[in-house]
């Protein structure tokens, strides 16, 4: 069983930064594909960024150059550094783990970008 707990969300002004963290449990973390997704009110959940076990990364076009995903396999942590935040980045951000056992989601953390 994999459990994911996100933290680091909050209220930030446009242009500001936040760092989201995702703490994972389970023995297959190092081989799991990890991703950050977000869901804004009235919109579908969308992929923000993903990172493979080999540290390859992928980003949504809307966040390229502003967000950076990283992982620490020893600590079983995944991070999302978000810079130059915009109001349209406002959403609930979810951590997702995918491995041979299945797909797992955290409960999400709210990010609000507003002046």
Q: How are beta strands 57-59 and 46-51 bridged, if at all?
A: antiparallel
Q: How are beta strands 77-82 and 91-99 bridged, if at all?
A: unpaired
Mean pLDDT, residues 105-115 taken together: 97
Q: What is the pLDDT of residues 7-32, one digit of tens each?
A: 999 999 999 999 999 999 987 888 89
Query: Average per-residue pLDDT in the chain?
Result: 96
pLDDT over 90 at 103, yes or no: yes
What pLDDT band is residue 90 in, cutting at 50, 70 and 90?
Answer: very high
pLDDT over 90 at 65, yes or no: yes
Q: What is the pLDDT of residues 52-64, one digit of tens each?
A: 999 999 999 999 9
CA pair distance 13, 11, nearest whole angstrom? 7
Q: What is the pLDDT of residues 34-45, one digit of tens each?
A: 999 999 999 999
């Amino acid at each position: 069983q994999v459990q994911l707990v996100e933290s680091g969300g909050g209220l930030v002004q446009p242009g500001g930064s936040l760092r989201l963290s995702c703490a994972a449990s389970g023995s297959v973390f190092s081989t799991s594909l990890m991703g950050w997704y977000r869901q804004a009110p009235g919109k579908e959940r969308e992929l923000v960024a993903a990172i493979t076990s080999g540290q390859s990364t992928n980003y949504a076009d809307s966040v390229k150059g502003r967000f950076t995903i990283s992982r620490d396999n020893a600590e079983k942590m995944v991070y999302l550094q978000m810079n130059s935040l915009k109001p349209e980045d406002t959403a609930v951000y979810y951590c997702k783990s995918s491995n041979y056992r299945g797909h797992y989601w955290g409960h999400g953390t709210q990010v609000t970008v507003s002046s």
